[in-house]
C-alpha cells in the first residue's frame, strides 16, 4: 500500500487497484445502528493497513484522521440524506483527504522522508486537501485549479492556506489540470527529486477511505434497511470524477448489501451514456452549476471497469446512471426546500433530481429506502442557493475563516512545461515545508 500511496499513478500511467478485497462481513454482523463512525473507520483501516502498520498503527491513523463524522437525516418515508459535509472544508472529500494526510504522515515519520502532493481540483478536492495537509512537517501540497471555474468561496479555501500549501491558477479547464498532474506523475525527474504523489481520488489512499461513510450509513440504518421495509437501500451518488461512487462499489464488494447505486451526473454524462449504450466516450468537460462534477474524462472509470471485469451487463445489475441539466438542478434545490425545508448545494441537488426521477418511474414498486449522499455544505455555493431558493445560507465557522483570508495564487498556462518549470525552479521558495499545525 505504501508504494501505491506515494506513487499516485502506476508506472504505466494507470490507477492502482487492490489485488484482493477485505471481507468485512464478520465485523459488519456486529455493527448495530448505534455504532460510531470512528469504530467502523478503525475496523476498516485495520483491514486495509493492519499488515503494514500493525493494529495499533492503523488505529492511530483512524483516530488522527477523523475528528468529525457524517450525519444521517430523514426527509420523508424511505428518503434519507447522508450528510458528508461536516469536516474541515465542508465537503465529502474531507474523509479521504484527512485519512490520506494521516497515512502519509505516518509513513514519512517512519522513513524520515518528505513528499510533494500534486492535486488537480474542480472545486472541493483542493480545499479538502489543503485543510488536511496544512502545516504538515514532511509533506507539501501543490494545487492545480481552473481559473474562473470554481466558486469564490472554493477559491478562497484553496488560496488562503499558505505555508506548505501552494495554489496554481491554471488558465484552462479541470481536464487540463488533471492532464498536467498525470503527466507530472510519469516524469522520472520529478518523481526522483520531489517524491511526487497525488491526493486526487486517483490515489488509492484517498479513494478507499471514502467507503467508510457508506459502511457507517449502512449500519446506522440497521444493515441498510429502515424500519418500514426489509428491502436494501439504494445509494444515490452525485458523480463527477467517480471516486466517491467507486468507493461505494468497493464497500459493496467488501460485504455491504445494497439494492444498487444510482450515479447522478450533470451534463458531463460519460458514465450514464456508457451504461445505456456501451459507448465509452471521454470528452472535453462542459461547465455547469454543479462545477465540482464538471469532469469529461473521469479517472475512476478505470476502477469501475476493473471491478466488473469490463462487463457492462454485470455493472448494470448494481449500477444505473442519470444525467441532470442545470435548470433541473435549480428546480430540484427549490423543490427540496419547498417540500422539506432542506437546503441543498447544487451537487446534492443533482442527486435529488435523479432520485425523484427513478422514484416516479418505479411508482409503488419502489418500497426500499433511498439514501442520497449530500456532498457539500450549501454555504459553499451561496449565489446558486440564493438564485434557487431565495435565501443565503449562513457560513459555518470553517468557511467564514476562509472567506476572510487573502488570496495567494500563481497564474499558469495549461501546459506541462509550465508546471514542470514551477516544480523544479520555484517550489522550494513558494511552498516551504513547515511545522505541524
Nearest to 210 by CA among 197, 201, 219, 220: 201
3-class DSSP assignment, residue 66: coil
Region 418-427: mean pLDDT is 95
pLDDT greater than 60 at residue 406: yes
**Domain assignment present for 275:** yes
Q: Work out whether the CA dihedral 304, 106, 189, 130 comes out positive or negative.
A: positive
Q: Are residues 195 and 225 in the same domain?
A: no
Q: Are residues 292 and 418 in the same domain?
A: no
Q: Select the more confidently predicted residue: 223 or 423.
A: 423
Q: Which three cell numbers stand for residue 336?
A: 427540496
Q: How big is the chain by its Cα radius of gyration, in Å?
A: 20
Q: Are residues 422 and 361 in the same domain?
A: no
Number of domains in the chain: 2
**Domain assignment present for 15:** no
pLDDT digits (tens, 9 = 90+) for 97-131: 999 999 998 888 888 788 899 999 877 788 899 99
**Domain assignment present for 395:** no
Q: Are residues 99 and 87 in the same domain?
A: no
Nearest to 208 by CA among 363, 397, 24, 404: 24
What is the domain-level CATH number for residue 126?
A: 3.40.50.1100
pLDDT greater than 70 at residue 343: yes
pLDDT digits (tens, 9 = 90+) for 198-246: 887 888 999 899 999 999 999 998 876 655 556 789 999 999 999 999 9
Nearest to 2 by CA among 188, 197, 192: 197
Please say whether the beta carbons of 140 and 105 come within 8 A.
no
Q: Give the pLDDT score at 363.
A: 72
Residues 6+ apart with CB under 8 A from 433: 114, 136, 137, 138, 139, 140, 164
**Domain assignment present for 149:** yes
Q: What's the chain's length in residues?
A: 437
Q: Are residues 181 and 214 in the same domain?
A: no
Q: Are residues 174 and 217 in the same domain?
A: no
Q: Are residues 79 and 119 in the same domain?
A: no
Q: Are residues 382 and 351 in the same domain?
A: yes
pLDDT greater than 90 at residue 68: yes
pLDDT grade for 436, boundaries at 50, 70 and 90: very low
Residue 173, CB half-sphere, CA atoms under 13 Å: how many?
A: 14
Q: Are residues 281 and 322 in the same domain?
A: yes
Q: Give the pLDDT score at 435.
A: 45
Q: Are residues 317 and 214 in the same domain?
A: yes
Q: Are residues 270 and 313 in the same domain?
A: yes
Residues 6+ apart with CB under 8 A from 67: none
pLDDT greater than 60 at residue 387: yes
Q: Looking at residue 407, what DSSP letter applies?
A: P
**Domain assignment present for 26:** no
Please say whether the beta carbons of 402 and 156 come within 8 A.
yes
Please state, rounded to an integer, the average pLDDT across all residues of the chain: 91
Q: Give the pLDDT score at 2.
A: 84
**Domain assignment present for 65:** no
Region 159-181: mean pLDDT is 93
Which H or E element spans position 74?
strand 71-76
**Domain assignment present for 396:** no
Which structural domain, as residue segments, surrounds residue 162?
Answer: 2-8+31-56+93-206+405-430
pLDDT greater than 50 at residue 266: yes
| Lowest model confidence (mean pLDDT) among 11-20, 136-145, 303-312 | 11-20
Q: Give the pLDDT score at 191.
A: 81
Residue 227 neighbours by CB distance under 10 Å: 7
Q: Are residues 159 and 255 in the same domain?
A: no
**Domain assignment present for 146:** yes
pLDDT grade for 305, boundaries at 50, 70 and 90: very high
pLDDT grade for 366, boundaries at 50, 70 and 90: low
Residue 193, CB half-sphere, CA atoms under 13 Å: how many?
A: 11
Amino acid at each position: 500500500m505504501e508504494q501505491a500511496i506515494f506513487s499516485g499513478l502506476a508506472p504505466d500511467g494507470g490507477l492502482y487497484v487492490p489485488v484482493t478485497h477485505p471481507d468485512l462481513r464478520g465485523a459488519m454482523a456486529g455493527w448495530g445502528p448505534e455504532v460510531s463512525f470512528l469504530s467502523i473507520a478503525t475496523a476498516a483501516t485495520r483491514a486495509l493497513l493492519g499488515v503494514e502498520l500493525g493494529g495499533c498503527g492503523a488505529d492511530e491513523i483512524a483516530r488522527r484522521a477523523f475528528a468529525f463524522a457524517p450525519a444521517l437525516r430523514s426527509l420523508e418515508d424511505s428518503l434519507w440524506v447522508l450528510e458528508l459535509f461536516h469536516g474541515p472544508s465542508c465537503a465529502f472529500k474531507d474523509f479521504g483527504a484527512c485519512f490520506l494526510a494521516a497515512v502519509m504522515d505516518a509513513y514519512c515519520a517512519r522513513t524520515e522522508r518528505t513528499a510533494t502532493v500534486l492535486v488537480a481540483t474542480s472545486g472541493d478536492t483542493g480545499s479538502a486537501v489543503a485543510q488536511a495537509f496544512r502545516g504538515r512537517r514532511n509533506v507539501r501540497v501543490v494545487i492545480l485549479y481552473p481559473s474562473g471555474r470554481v466558486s469564490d468561496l472554493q477559491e478562497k479555501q484553496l488560496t488562503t492556506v499558505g505555508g506548505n500549501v501552494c495554489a496554481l491558477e491554471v488558465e484552462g479547464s479541470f481536464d487540463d489540470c488533471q492532464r498536467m498532474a498525470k503527466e507530472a506523475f510519469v516524469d522520472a525527474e520529478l518523481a526522483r527529486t520531489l517524491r511526487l504523489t497525488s491526493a486526487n481520488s486517483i490515489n488509492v489512499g484517498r479513494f478507499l477511505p471514502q467507503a467508510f461513510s457508506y459502511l457507517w450509513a449502512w449500519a446506522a440504518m440497521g444493515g441498510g434497511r429502515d424500519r418500514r421495509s426489509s428491502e436494501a437501500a439504494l445509494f444515490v451518488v452525485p458523480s463527477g470524477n467517480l471516486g466517491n461512487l467507486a468507493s461505494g462499489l468497493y464497500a459493496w464488494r467488501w460485504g455491504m448489501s445494497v439494492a444498487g447505486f444510482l450515479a447522478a451526473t450533470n451534463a458531463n454524462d460519460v458514465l450514464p451514456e456508457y451504461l445505456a449504450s456501451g459507448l465509452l466516450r471521454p470528452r472535453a468537460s462542459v461547465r455547469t452549476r454543479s462545477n465540482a462534477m464538471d469532469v469529461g474524462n473521469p479517472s475512476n472509470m478505470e476502477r469501475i471497469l476493473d471491478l466488473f471485469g469490463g462487463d457492462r451487463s454485470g455493472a448494470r445489475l448494481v449500477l444505473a446512471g442519470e444525467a441532470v441539466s442545470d435548470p433541473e438542478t435549480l428546480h430540484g434545490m427549490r423543490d427540496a426546500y419547498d417540500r422539506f425545508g432542506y437546503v441543498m448545494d447544487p451537487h446534492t441537488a443533482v442527486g435529488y433530481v435523479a432520485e425523484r426521477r427513478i422514484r416516479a418511474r418505479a411508482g409503488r414498486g419502489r418500497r426500499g429506502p433511498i439514501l442520497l449522499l449530500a456532498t457539500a455544505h450549501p454555504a459553499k455555493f451561496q449565489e446558486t442557493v440564493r438564485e434557487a431558493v431565495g435565501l443565503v445560507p449562513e457560513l459555518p465557522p470553517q468557511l467564514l475563516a476562509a472567506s476572510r483570508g487573502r488570496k495567494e495564487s500563481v497564474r499558469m498556462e495549461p501546459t506541462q512545461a509550465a508546471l514542470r518549470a514551477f516544480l523544479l525552479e520555484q517550489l522550494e521558495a513558494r511552498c516551504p515545508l513547515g511545522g505541524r499545525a
